[in-house]
Structures are given as C-alpha cells and as structure tokens.
Amino acid sequence: MPAAVVVGGGIGGLAAAIGLRRIGWQVTVLERGGAFSEIGAGLALWPNAMRALAALGLAERVREIAGVESVGGVRDQSGRWLSRTDNAEVARRHGWPLLMVHRAELLRELMAALPGELLRADSEVLDVRPDGDGVVVEHRGGRVRADLVVGADGVRSRMRRQGWPEAEAPRYAGCTAWRMVTEPLGGRGAEGALFWGRGERIGFAALPGGRFYCFAAARVPEGGAEDPYAEVVRRFGGWPDPVPEMLAAVPPDAVMRHDVYETPPLASYVRGRVALVGDAAHAMEPTLGQGAGTALEDAVTLAACLRAEPDVDAALARYDRVRRPRTQAIARRSARLGAAGLVAWAPGAWLRNLAARLVPPGVLLRSMDPVLGWTPPELREQRGRSAPRPGGQARTDSGEGGGTGSGGGARTDSGGRDRAGSGGGAGGSRGRGRRAGA
Ligand SMILES: Cc1cc2nc3c(=O)[nH]c(=O)nc-3n(C[C@H](O)[C@H](O)[C@H](O)COP(=O)(O)OP(=O)(O)OC[C@H]3O[C@@H](n4cnc5c(N)ncnc54)[C@H](O)[C@@H]3O)c2cc1C
C-alpha cells in the first residue's frame, strides 16, 4: 500500500490525510504542536469549500456545526448599507450557502475522521530528503520513509523553504488582522456585516449557539505590540451599532492578532515527491475567505489526481497543473479586494463606497462564480494503477512506534455524493445551538 507523510495538522493537512486514506493510501500526520491545534476563531466556508468537504464525506457533519445567515453585506463607517448579499441566492446558485464555522470545531471534525494513531503531535519535521523513489522525513520523534510528502505546514512552511530555496519569503500584506469570537449574545440577533472605513474594516458573522465571529483588519506596520483587545476597542469601539455590542461580548483574552502574510507565487507546487497544499503553497489575504476553502480543494484534488493517474509523479504534475493557476488567481483577487477594502485615502474610499452601492448584488455574486463554482474532480476508482515503486510503506527506521498506524481502509464511496449540489439548506439555521458555547 502506498504511504504518505503529511507535514502539518491544520485544515489542509488533515483534509489531505482524509483524502489520501479514501483512495487507499497509508498516512501519517506529523504536527509540530503539542496537540493538534484547536486554536482559531471563525472561518468562512463558501460553496466550493463545502463541495470539497462533501468529497471527503464530511459536508453534513460540518453543516451541523456551522452558522448561516440569511443576509449579509457591506456597510460604510456610518452604518449605511452599501451592498447586501442574499445567502439564499448564494445557495440557489451554488448548492450551498455561505457557512461560518469555528476553526477549532472544524479541526475537531476533521480529526474525528482519522484514526487517532495516525496523528502524531510533538513531531516537528526538521528535514526531508529524497530517497530513491521516495522521501525520508526526519522529525522530532524519529524518521519515516514514504512515497509522498504533503507539505501542509502553513505560511511559514519549512517544506517550502527546504524544497524551494529560490522562492521568496512570505511578504507582509500591509495589514494586520484581529479575530475573535463573542460569548453567546443571548438570542439578540444581528445581521452579519462588514463595515468599511478608511484603512480599517471590521465585520462579524453568526456562529452556532448565539456567538458571533468578529474579524477586523487595519493598514498598520507589522509587529504592533499593543494589547490586541485594547487595540480593537480603541480602533472600532466607536463604530456604529452593533459593533460596540459585539466587542463588549468578546472575552478580552480571546482576541487573536496576526500580521497578514502572503506567499509570492511559486513556479510549481510540486518538487520531486513533495507536494505543497494550503497556505504552504499559496497563503493569501483573508479578504475572500478562501484560505480554508482552497486548502480543502487542494486536498481533494491531490487525492483525485493520485487516484486517477497510475504513476505518482504524473499525478503530482497534474495536481500542480490543476491547482496552481486557480489558487494564484484567487490570491491575486483577494489582494485586490483587500487593497480596496482598506484604502485609506478619503477620495479613494468614497469612490469605492460609491461603486459598491452602484453595482447590483446579483452582478457581484455572479462575478464570484469562478471561485464558488468549483467542483471536485471525481475521486474515481483507480484503474491499472501500479503500486508505487519500492518502499511502498512508510517505514519507521528509528524512534517511532507503529509506523503509519492502521492506515489503509480504502473506501470507495467518495466522489462528492455527500450532498454536493443538493440544495444545501439555503438560508435556515439548522444545526444552530449544537455545541453551543464550545
Ligand atoms: C493557530 C492558527 C489559527 C488560525 N486562525 C484562523 C482564524 O481564526 N480564521 C481564519 O480565517 N484563518 C485562521 N488561520 C489560518 C487558516 O487556518 C489557514 O489559512 C487555512 O486553513 C489553511 O490552512 P493550512 O492547513 O494550509 O495551514 P495552517 O492552518 O497554518 O496549519 C499548518 C500546520 O502545520 C504545523 N506545522 C508548521 N510547521 C511544521 C513542521 N515543521 N512540522 C510539523 N508541523 C508543522 C502548524 O503547527 C500548523 O498546525 C489560522 C491558522 C493558525 C495556524
């Protein structure tokens, strides 16, 4: 049975592990952290992300832990609506509405889909080197050999630094993001919205259990040292309702502050038997809410390519051909929208707001079709696939107990049938309240 080592246990890494197991690979996930991270605030899951989750057999479960709002949109700093989006229209057009999940809860669902013994915490990967037709991975817990390494180790990827030494380092996108989740607001509803100011923006969206995910960004020099909660309140505490109410419901120690970095485009996502997925390949500004979605797409596509192509190297080449143009285009679009959303020059902000008011919401939504309309490549039954060449199993050469664990378990029930395109529960709030306050 072919074997893969996944470096990094974030959304991209766990999804890749699930996808690879579904096509019959043995998998080990090596995570640097002491535990598989349950850190984070909210994440947007657009229809393309839900279709990827459907291909992994997880869409229904994720739907149950997600929040969904009927409308959202953009407001200016005085609170006036500039543009409103009907989430039912998103669902009508694409089969799923926009859903919001807590990152920790999504990670929990992904982890639950994998046997625990495949997940190795405290296993920072230190080195990866080619070894015949495979790769040897050195990590804090020992050494393992595999046919394929999936580099899912995030924006500061060691896999990318090591395998792509010529690549430029991630660059500061010019803005800092604050993310936080409120305590339950006691049933007081609010429409999700994004407020655009000058060089600053703040938004919020409903999570299950009456909580709200709040996200803010500002054009500031990187590395600010101010207390994150104090800074958010200083910047946004005087913005229109319900922003102050939202901020008052955020525990002061629950604000995450991240300088935003993007990866300069790579010439390939594959080198030898190392394939990059997610932020390691294409970290982008969060403006379009596609960081998690594109990582999930990568994971599903990688598995589909490996299933469809009898030769691993050809499959990886195909993965790169399919994923690079799409993800780099989405990253460029996120950067453009990010620049517009954070324009600080007063006439520029005025023009931006005018344009947002004049463009009909239907046109805006249609313009997102190339991003949201993604469908997973079919995870077909493989035909005539030769076993990967020598060293087929991830072998433990030192310090490891149990190699890649139980691995295997090839399932044949994949392929996006889990609800993809089935209407997706437009609007409604089914599932709200489950795991309230988790
Ligand atoms: C702690 C954290 C919180 C986040 N919170 C949010 C949020 O609230 N909202 C949002 O929209 N996005 C958030 N993001 C970003 C978002 O999760 C990603 O943009 C997106 O999901 C793509 O994920 P990824 O799996 O490619 O990378 P990541 O989510 O960054 O995961 C990479 C993983 O690799 C591990 N790793 C790194 N180096 C090594 C190594 N050498 N060996 C082994 N493991 C390694 C890291 O510990 C991490 O678990 C967060 C990211 C992180 C790391």
Chain segment 60-102, per-residue pLDDT in tens: 999 999 998 877 899 999 999 999 988 899 999 999 999 999 9
**Close Cβ partners of 325 (under 8 Å, ≥ 6 residues apart):** none
Task: Give the mutation target among 5, 11, 110, 261 for probing the ligand 1 site: most ligand atoms within 8 A of CB.
Answer: 11
Distance 228 CA to ligand 1 centre (A): 20
Task: Give the mutation target among 29, 100, 122, 153 for probing the ligand 1 site: most ligand atoms within 8 A of CB.
Answer: 153
pLDDT value at position 228? 95
Residues of the chain with pLDDT under 70: 37, 187-190, 379-438
Q: How many residues does the chain have?
A: 438
Distance 241 CA to ligand 1 centre (A): 32
β-sheet with 148-151: strand ranges across: 119-120, 26-30, 3-7, 148-151, 274-276, 270-271
Ligand 1, atom nearest to 41 Cα? 8
Q: Which two tokens stand for residue 204?
A: 């919020």
Looking at every residue in the chain, the average pLDDT score rounds to 85
Closest residue by CA, ligand 1 atom 51: 40
Distance 37 CA to ligand 1 centre (A): 8
Ligand 1, atom nearest to 30 Cα? 43
Closest residue by CA, ligand 1 atom 21: 292
Q: Give the chain's domains with CATH numbers.
A: 3-398 (3.50.50.60)
Q: Cα–Cα distance between 119 and 43 in angstroms, integer?
A: 23
Beta strands in 247-312 (DSSP E): 256-262, 270-271, 274-276
Phi then psi for residue 198, to 5 deg, are -110, 110
pLDDT value at position 381? 42
Question: pTM value?
Answer: 0.86
pLDDT value at position 364? 87
pLDDT value at position 311? 96
Distance 127 CA to ligand 1 centre (A): 19
Q: What is the DSSP letter of 438?
A: -
